[in-house]
Amino acid sequence: MKKEFAVIGLGRFGGSICNELAEQGMQVMAIDINEERVNKFAAVASHAVCADTTDEKVLKSLGIRNFDHVIVAIGDDIQASILTTLMLKELGVKKVSAKAQNDYHEKVLRKIGADHVVHPERDMGKRIAHNMVSNNVLDY
């Protein structure tokens, strides 16, 4: 059976995850509080929904606990990111990945049970630096 994903927050980060999952043929529900952003993903995702994910009733009505993997890609509104992640874990979502805005945010996300925390700018910087070093090693 195909894995079912939900992406919450359709900015550059969440949007690109959503596009890539759909491209790979996965079932993906795209969720954002901003209707314009939701409309942009209506043709890409299996379902695109306008919703505030800090509302537990909303998360329940979306049947979020039945998804295999939920990605919380809300960045700037740290409170919304934390509250959403906490409720996803409380509702029993097996795998939750969340985007952290800074080290404190990351620490809280881990404490409340996020299974995987990404720090896109920092992680990408690390990866690029590693590639530069290994390319240098090969060059000499």
Binding region for ligand ATP (CB under 6 A)? 8-14, 31-34, 37, 52-54, 73-77, 80
CB of 51 to ligand ATP, least distance (A): 6
Please report the DSSP string for 42-77 in residue order. TTTSSEEEE--TT-HHHHHHTTGGG-SEEEE---S-
CB of 134 to ligand ATP, least distance (A): 28
CB of 36 to ligand ATP, least distance (A): 9
Position with the least CB separation from ligand ATP? 11
Residue from 12, 18, 62, 7 nearest 43 by CA: 18
Cα separation, 34 vs 51, whole angstroms: 8
Closest CB to ligand ATP among residues 11, 113: 11
